[in-house]
Amino acid sequence: MPAFVYAEDKVLGRLGQALDATPIYSRATSNSRVYHRAKQYEYLIVRSSTGTYTPVVMENGRLGYIRTSKLAVLPYNVTSAATVPTSGRTTGSSVSRSGSSVSSGSNAKAQIAQYGLRYTGTPYVWGGNSLNNGIDCSGFVQQLFGKIGEKLPRTAAEQAKVGLKIERLEDLQAGDRLYFWDRKRGKIGHTGLYLGNGFFVHSSVNNHGVATDDLRNPKWRNMLVAARR
């Protein structure tokens, strides 16, 4: 099976998200100018930091500073490859692990979950099957797993019956499939792929398409009813 190779482009930083609505300052102090007011869960390009403030890359290339306590850093690089529209300030970049590939093997599912980040911003379309033009939650998971040769059923409820059952949150691994309960329909009605560090990627109506969310948010944790590997 051919591998899906990530482009080896310049690494701009790590992928991060603001945990709450918070200002981004021009210097590492709250007494400085506010460059931007980040929304909750807004995507950011993060540079390494060990202090109270963490530098982030702004649209104009300048560095801004966000309180480290207001930031979650995901284990993925942001590179200068292709344009990936997002809700944050990372337009013009792509998310990847430079130099790696997606192929069959024990780590394939973790890599395909990461690969799914490249479709951040693809619009949500009910019944959609296009990773580029429009897709729903189960179509997103089905299409990604198809890239590593795994055929999954089309709906979330059907997919939740396939694979090794994961019964404890602490046992989740990157690439595991998550399934959420739909109260209105009285059945499993949503799915996504676990990324690690509490985050998952999915196509959702609320996000208007492919995006990441935090599984530690009570909204998602209380809806989670199944996980499969």
- Catalytic center residues: 137, 190, 202
Determine the pLDDT at residue 89.
35
Q: Where are the domains of the chain?
A: 11-96, 102-228
Assign domain 11-96 one CATH number from 1.10.8.50, 2.40.50.140, 2.30.30.40, 1.20.1050.10.
Answer: 2.30.30.40
What whole-number distance in Å separates Cα of residue 89 and Cα of residue 152? 34
pLDDT digits (tens, 9 = 90+) for 92-106: 344 443 333 344 444
Determine the pLDDT at residue 86.
38
- DSSP characters for 17-84? EESSSEEEESSSSTTS-EEEEEPTT-EEEE----SSEEEEE-TTS-EEEEEGGGEEEEEEEEESSS--
What whole-number distance in Å separates Cα of residue 71 and Cα of residue 67? 7
What whole-number distance in Å separates Cα of residue 89 and Cα of residue 36? 10
What whole-number distance in Å separates Cα of residue 6 and Cα of residue 94? 10
Give the predicted TM-score (pTM) of the model: 0.62
The CATH H-level (homologous superfamily) assignment of domain 102-228 is endopeptidase domain like (from Nostoc punctiforme) (3.90.1720.10)
Q: Within the chain, which residues score under 50 in pLDDT? A: 1-8, 81-106
pLDDT digits (tens, 9 = 90+) for 48-96: 876 899 999 988 889 999 999 988 887 677 766 433 333 333 333 444 4
In the chain, the percentage of residues whose pLDDT exceeds 90 is 55
Determine the pLDDT at residue 101.
37
Determine the pLDDT at residue 80.
62
